[in-house]
Structure 1
Amino acid sequence: MTNTTLFFVDAVSKVRDNTRPDGRGEYLRIFDEEYQSAIKGYEKQLAKYKEYFPEHQDILKVREGYFAIDKKNNEVEIEDWDDSKSELDVKAKSQEDIDRGISLILERKDELISFEEPLSFIFSHSALREGWDNPNVFTLCTLKNGSSDIAKKQEIGRGLRLPVDITGNRCLDSEVNELTVIANDSYENFSRVLQEDFNQNMNFNKNEVTADILTVTLEKAGVPKEKITAELVDTFKQELMRKGIFDSNNILGKNVEQTSKLLEGLVFENEILNEHALLLKENFAEYMVQKGSQRIEIKNGDNEPYVNTIRAFVSQEEFQQIYFGLSRNLTKRTLYKCNVDKDKFVSGCIEEINTYLQYFKVNKAVNIATGKAGFNDAQMFEMVKSGDKTFDIDVGMKVIPKSDFEVVNYIMHHTMLPRLAIFNMLAGIEKRDALNFQDILDRVTQKILVRLNDAKAANITSYEVIDGYELDEGQIFATDTISEEDFNDEWRIFKSNPHRKNALNEYYKMDSKGEKEFAEKLEANDNVILFTKLKKGGFVIDTPYGNYSPDWAVVCRKDGLEAGAVGIYFIVETKAGKLEKDLTDVEVNKIRCGELHFKAVSELVKFNWVNSYEDFKTKFGVKESM
């Protein structure tokens, strides 16, 4: 895709200088000199990909300036302008000049995403705002004094768009979607102000305990879906509130360490909560930490970046043998086969839907307020409110009915179930009219989809390797991008020991403290000759729930295994601190999918989940270093 750079300048004369013979201002002279130097330095690369850089040597075609234009078509400075103003605060005449500049650049808007257009560097004073929306801006450079808050947002907003390729499709790759801002400000102040503005506009409070946090905590702790009701969520909230975890405004009153201590001493009164107490406390603390770390990632370009590379091993030949042996087993793709009892599935769906709809009726909320009227001591007439109640009144069905074919087609589109099976479900639904309401139909469809995925996952019989269809090796072993902020939490980054040679990469991002401890102990074991964290989304196993990505790949010496141990390539899913009874049904099913996948791939590969390094040694039969 194309790459556009924007320069926001403080004066037109620094780009267009009519007093000079060549008409170039100070900024253009500097740019032209640096550009010529750059293309000389990248001469070989530009020649190799010349179709993507047409006419790159013609400097007049790769750069352009768009400024306010007067009625005589001359580029002009804006009257009454200073950098603290918004573009909307200037005189009417100046606004007309700006609009003419916008019209000019809009004429070339679509050309800028084409490789046939050489223009890549745009200088502007004020002619770029909501009318201009090039998604492929990857670099912003502010060559002027501090702008107003609105102007800053408009400038940054020029680069906060999902880029598109030449066919117009949006790019969702986080490795590509990165905006570089060269600001006339310190990194600390720039990043702080941008983050504060983001949080303020998103109404984001990192210490707020939302209903979503409580619900997902219950789900991840293994509480059965049918037990997670609004009443249980509210009970969970009230018990945490009584313990002082957060106040009546749902705001945490303590820091992470203090909150963790309060949670340790908490004994749940509710039977369901008490049954899952350990995981509820751990997950609640973990999700609040995650919420607090949800920041816009702003890297300081002035500092040397953390270079994360594949490390050199003692013997290149030995490394290639190990690496490609592991790669061959990880790049294979498979598909699963399952055998679902159709009649049982349909009857189960009917029962669940009828239970869900048993109390369905259409109500209208009516508020009735009562008051008393009379004269006060000053003989003035006044009315005093004495009551306020809300009643639900059954008003019957008031919606355009959907035909059976409309309902069936909608469910079929979202679940891929055959029509006949859905018609059979429809025949058994007692309150069929409820499905005329789109929100009810959406929820029922989701329930069917969840039940379908669970049924398929529980009834998978085998996996089969797909010949000629492989995963991208580069994506499986892609290195993590490391930034300064990653080091704010001591456990977030694992840095390989330079004196040990078994970690594939220099750095890894960890998901938990337990995972970092696992990596450190793997590195210390001489029987582990190679290990790496697998890139999420790079290595995937197809499951009814979507793609599943295990955590680790470990290669061990044959003579470092206990008698009877199978294989030397180990794929490990880490569930730090969890017991088998704590795993959710989805987790259990995904782990089983992993086992069947690798059973189809190779007898040299063994897959399992572990909750600690000791558990890893036991399940995989790996000896400790001698």
Structure 2
Amino acid sequence: ISTELDGLNFSVEMETGTGKTYVYLRTIYELNKIYGFKKFVIVVPSIAIREGVLKNLEITFDHFQNLYSKTPVNYWVYDSKRVSNLRNFAINNNIQILVINIDSFAKDENIINRPNDKLTGKRPVEFIQATKPIVIVDEPQNMETELRKKAIENLNPLCTLRYSATHINRYNMVYSLDPVKAYDLGLVKQIEVDSIVTENDFNDAFVSLKKVYNPGKNSVAAKVKIDVNTKENVKRKVVTAKLGDDLYDLSSKREIYKDGYIINGIDVADGFIELSNGEMLFTGDTFGDITDDVMKVQIKKTVEEHFLKERIFQSKGIKVLSLFFIDRVANYRSYGSDGTPLKGKFAEWFEEAYQEVSGKAAYKGLLPFELDEMHNGYFSQDRKGRWKDTMGNSSADDDTFKLIMKNKEQLLDVREPLRFIFSHSALREGWDNPNVFQICTLNETHSELKKRQEIGRGLRLPVNMSGNRIQDATINRLTVIANESYDDFAKQLQSEIEEDCGVSFKGRIKDKRKRGMVKYRKGFELDEKFKDIWEKIKYHTSYKVDYKTSELIKKAAEAVEQMSAIKKALIKTTKTALQFDGYGIVADIKASYTTALDGTFRIPDALFYIQERTELTRSTILEILNSSGRLGDMLINPQLFLDNTVAAIKEVLYELMIDGIKYEKIGSREYEMRLFEDYEIHINDLTFDVSKQDKTIYSNLVPLDSEVEYDFARECESRDDIAFYFKLPFWFKIKTPIGDYNPDWALIKKNEKTVYFVAETKSVGQELRTSEKRKIKCGHAHFEEFDDVEYRQVATVGELD
């Protein structure tokens, strides 16, 4: 709350689909009724929103006439060919509502800002200025440039009312209905995500261009997502590529990138890269994944979802609509050399899916219409009547938006056959029909469309044939068919809500006050008890392993033979309901399906791949593979076979190495005392407060990881037989074949005799991971080299007796 006004701009935040247009139209009538104001200008950022406002003025006219005693109202859209109408706006004594696009008056050269002979030399805008109107700005975040802000000020408004779901600047916020409140109050549909992603599909050269940029004054670079070899398997990662870089090297030598994947060009101005094989990728472009297969499944899932709802809702008089956003008109409709319309691949895939789903016994006869009547596209047309790609803001889009909005009521009639609508993603703001229950975005390039924009076209609560709003939560569900994981979708949606609306989800906030420094007790290094145990454990070691190659080959071959079946690459569909609460957006899984993919793959150099990850000789690897009898499985899914084989061999190899491991001290090399430095931590319930400083090296806090460690520290401090203890620092690491190992505790126990322990704390009955068991085994082997030191795995101090 502010005690000062930030100018005469007032902001109202309302989530998409909650009736923003209705609210500001009713506000006009209320301001007239209470204060007598009559001149209103609604400024819109696009043709789509303009047509939407005009449609709302038409369909709410009788409603408001009944509510406000038939108050005379004139509304109209500004037309630069009829500027003389502005004179009537100024002198007519009825409520005047002028709807105008920002681009019609933002520049000096606009007709509205130029002297006009028909208006006795006046500029048309002067008629607006003279009335000192109340200006209503719809979606003001699209009008935040200096030019546009100045243009709105030039209308000479009494005040400006700003309505949006995503304000950039929240001037004098008077009301906020954010997404979380809207979901809680049931004012919008609940959201489901049908996530469609590939699994185990690393057999082709995948490249996706995320961005191109200038890291320095005279340099260019690109962020590229590729498949990268790791120690365990292949992972999809974003890497930084510079001119001349080879994706073969950046992928840690994945053979699939060996020929033709050098970055030959990076163009920041036009946003693309060129590879040595001639391929050009623009920002957002992807190749090498199974885009077509995924989009076919997306279309089929959309049709299945549609029929499922159609079957339930038809008896309730609720029309079901499905909306497909596409980025290229040609994918839905193309034209022959003679201008004959031809079906694009999306139209063909849709009809195949429709015929398959509608033929099921449960759905036969449900929709008694011809297939061609069931789907159509809304796109701008050229002079020959052919559909074309546009950006949504050209004059060619005018008729398209009018068509969309004028057909709004007809589309809600269950007797109207059209149910599946394909529209250009650039025209998305034109679609705001309450009975959209499925939204499917089919983009061959990865869409930069925000999640809130994507779902925004279908959030409104549906209506039945009588025009009544449906309040049933079991019906009010919007299903988004997405080509990404539901987890990624939820995270991005949550991030956008936080960024756009200033909503803070509790689960993501760390309390900055709860930080503290772990400090070492002054002079602890001179403490005789510390010196006593430190002198015994401070030395580095190296290890040697001893195993028989014949035993490795036999056991590894058996392990490969017993691997689970190698499956084909899959498209996995997971249906989830998104739940909103104060802690964030959580995906609640409802169903899951998989579809196997057939394909031909280039077989990589298996011996080289396995050798890189196991350091075994090629002859040993070949003998293992031949003895396993599983080599033929490589043809099913090469990359999955290799990754599983590496994992099986490494399991056997590690077991043999650790069974035969021997440690020895490396001369006089030891851990250096200078490494004991104070450091900062996040304080939590497991941070132990030291009260007996003389028993440890710490002066205040001990950072711990588990309840069993916390109880162990408390025991150490309270028991008289523990003379000294401390948590071994994170840099006290023992080398093992499977990675470094950091034991938990060093302590001195005194009874009849003094015993020096290194302890690993694990709770009773705790199921240890295989890697943990192996590292503990290495811990035993390491400390066998140290005189008078016992290594134990325990849950309590009492177990050291």
- Name the TM-score class by shorter chain: 0.3 to 0.5
Normalised to the residue count of structure 2, the TM-score between the two structures is 0.33
Higher Rg:
2
Normalised to the residue count of structure 1, the TM-score between the two structures is 0.41
Structure ranking higher in helix proportion: 1
Structure ranking higher in strand proportion: 2
Relative contact order (alpha carbons < 8 A, sep ≥ 6): 1 or 2 greater?
Answer: 2
